[in-house]
Amino acid sequence: MALDQEMVRRIATLARIKVPEENLAPLAGELNNIIGWIEQLSEVDTDGVKPMTSVVETVAPQREDVVTDGSAPEKVLKNAPQAETYFYTVPKVIE
């Protein structure tokens, strides 16, 4: 499954990373090398094997569905690059 430039452009969009046009080809080469090396996993017989979902054999803990935290808008917004009156601000999204 070789990655071409078009695929790299698509992945970059999915990952929300701007990749300059001239970097697409070298990046495709690099990613292909890595993916090509990963392909050796096809040698492993995994028929009937369950995918690992938890590395430790345990059941997920349960707790009461109650609010344990909150009411700290200043703390939440403290590191925002831009915020106004208890809101994060972003570029306009509605035309």
Question: How do 87-88 and 83-84 pair as beta strands?
Answer: antiparallel
* Binds other proteins (CB under 8 A): choice among 2, 16, 66, 67: 16
The total of other beta-carbon atoms located within 10 Å of residue 74's CB is: 8
Name residue, tokens 């345990």.
58
| Residue 72 interacts with other proteins (CB under 8 A): yes or no | yes
Q: Is 75 helix (H, G, I), strand (E, B) or coil?
A: helix
For residue 24, give the H/E element and its range.
Answer: helix 24-38
Q: How far is the CB of 28 from other proteins (least distance, A)?
A: 10
Closer CB to other proteins, residue 16 or residue 67?
16
Chain length of the chain: 95
Contact footprint for other proteins (CB under 8 A):
1, 3, 7-8, 10-12, 14-19, 27, 30-31, 33-35, 37-38, 40-44, 46, 49-58, 60-61, 63, 72, 75-76, 78-82, 88, 90-93
